[in-house]
Amino acid sequence: MEKEREYAPSGDDDLRNDPFIRSELSHAGIARMIGFTATDIMREEEKENPDLNLIEELKQKSRQYVNEREEVYNGNEEIIDRVLFEYLPLLKKRFEEYVPEHENRSFGNGE
């Protein structure tokens, strides 16, 4: 019987160095970037006087994220690092702006 693979790092290792964690975080992060960008496009298009230049810029960003998602799926370490070290901090900030503090809790924490 094959030994079960250990994914979690031991000790004080940085989780972002664990291959499984890197993969999961980068997949989730790039998907959120695509989602937030789609939301931004929709919100701008719904305005009475939408900024067409901004919409085009956002569509270009969306295409970039879709292309990067493919690279993440293919294990491109450069793109994975970009997602982990550039995009995730942006997502954290954006999430904190959009979610009221009383809703920004972990599930099952008893609060």
Q: How do the domains of the chain map onto residue ranges? A: 16-97
Confidence check: pLDDT of 8 > 50: no
| pLDDT tens, residue by residue, 24-36 | 999 999 999 999 9
**Token pair of 88, please?**
């995730």
Q: What is the per-residue DSSP string for 59-80?
A: HHHHHHHHHHHHHHHTT-HHHH
By C-alpha distance, which of 38, 21, 7 is closest to 84? 21
Asked if residue 8 lies in contact with residue 14, where contact means CB atoms within 8 angstroms, the answer is no
For 88-97, the pLDDT digits (tens) are 999 988 888 7
pLDDT, one tens digit per residue, over 58-89 is 999 999 999 999 999 999 999 999 999 999 99
| Contact (Cβ atoms closer than 8 angstroms) between residue 26 and residue 81 | no
The whole-model pTM stands at 0.73
